[in-house]
Amino acid sequence: MKPKPSRSSRPANWLRIAAASLVGALAPLNGLVAQSPWETLNVGTTASFRGLSVVDDRVVWASGTRGTVIHTIDGGGSWTVDSIPNGVAFDLRGIHARNDRVAHVAATAGRIWRTTDGGKTWSLRYQAADTSMFLDAIVFVNDRVGMALGDPMGGRFVLLVTRDGGDTWAEAPTGSRPEAMDGEAAFAASGTSLVFAGQRHGWLGTGGSVARVFRTMDAGASWSVSSSAIPGRGGSAGVFSVAFADSLRGIVVGGDYQLPDSATSTAAFTTDGGATWQPSGTFPRGFRSGVAVRQRRDELIAIAVGTTGSDISRDGGRTWSPLDGTAFNAIQFAPSGVAYAVGARGRVARHVVR
């Protein structure tokens, strides 16, 4: 029989065992940090970003706080930082770029600016007469036709339309604007509460008192609505981001930003163009504010990002698995499959899906 250790040796043995256990427990975490799939890019500003527009494999634009807009023309190797004239007080939650020279940004305060010279100069193309207008997202379906989404006013969502490349904007006819329920709104968390696939099929995600998805099949002339399978809650929960691979297959993510670690009902998918939505079998690990989707061979790849990290799905949003713990607000894919993501304090990164 081995002798019992003396009283004086027990603390030393306990410390050695505890230390070994701690190292073992931290090993997977250390490996996860060391092997983060996100490559951080130096953009030269500490502005926080929520607007993101990936034009192609080389041209990427992002917008954010203090009237800041950044863009790259070499796939993220270098970035140009611009500031909207007299825009330091504005939060630019939505951006859509057509190429390396033409881009439009939407401020939450009911303003839209455009550049046609790669961000060197900006012109104010729309300013709401009602200062309470709150814009959430902006999209273009071609070089001429675009749409901006705003929170409900007078019981209907605000939809601004341009048909001249963003030179002028006007409210869509009242009857063609989706009717909101009391307490229902859109979220300007990632600039993706309004998306289009092609020129006629579009979707609008909502939250608050209810969480629904509106869809149009005639370029916004009319809208139908479906339950999103993500619950609403007060003013903090619902659908925060919408993404479609084509006119039929789409994904919505969200949850409750006041409960960022809750992994209950944070994603849903559709295979019928948004007529019906099914909750994911396994959810992203918490609240998610942005999602992007693309077809890769026989897989429908999606990545969802949020304040507690990112998750990946390889089956069109049916199931999700953890990707990383880095916080991001918005994400989009480039045609090659590289994913770009943006977040707080100037965080911009890219990830190549393996």
- What are 120-139's pLDDT values in tens digits? 999 999 999 999 999 999 99
Chain centre to alpha carbon of residue 321 = 18
DSSP assignment of 161-186: EESSTTS--EEPPGGGSPBPPTTEE-
Q: Which domain holds residue 12?
A: 1-35
Instruction: Tell me the HSE value of 134 on the side-chain side, using a 13 A CA sphere.
Output: 10
| 296 shares a domain with 213 | yes
| 87 shares a domain with 18 | no
| 243 shares a domain with 284 | yes
- What are 209-226's pLDDT values in tens digits? 999 999 999 999 999 999
pLDDT score of 36: 87
- What are 227-248's pLDDT values in tens digits? 999 999 989 999 999 999 999 9
Nearest to 254 by CA among 242, 270, 245, 272: 242
| 95 shares a domain with 179 | yes
Q: Which of residues 52 and 87 earns the better pLDDT score?
A: 52
| 187 shares a domain with 66 | yes
| 60 shares a domain with 4 | no
| 305 shares a domain with 338 | yes
Average pLDDT over residues 61-81: 98
| 236 shares a domain with 331 | yes
Note every long-range contact of 154-158, with CB atoms under 8 Å and residues 24 or more positions apart, other chains counting: 155/179, 155/180, 156/180, 157/186, 157/204, 157/214, 158/133
Is the predicted pLDDT of residue 157 greater than 50, yes or no?
yes
State the pTM of this model. 0.89
Banded model confidence at residue 333, pLDDT cuts 50, 70, 90: very high
Reported residue count of the chain is 354
Residue 109 structure tokens? 């305060």
Biggest CA–CA distance in the chain, Å, is: 91
- What are 267-323's pLDDT values in tens digits? 999 999 999 999 999 999 999 999 999 999 999 999 999 999 999 999 999 999 999
| 30 shares a domain with 40 | no
| 159 shares a domain with 98 | yes
Residue 162 structure tokens? 């341009």
* CATH number for 204: 2.130.10.10
| 17 shares a domain with 144 | no
Nearest to 324 by CA among 333, 336, 312: 312
Q: What total of structural domains would you count in the chain?
A: 2
- What are 141-154's pLDDT values in tens digits? 999 999 999 999 99
| 139 shares a domain with 217 | yes
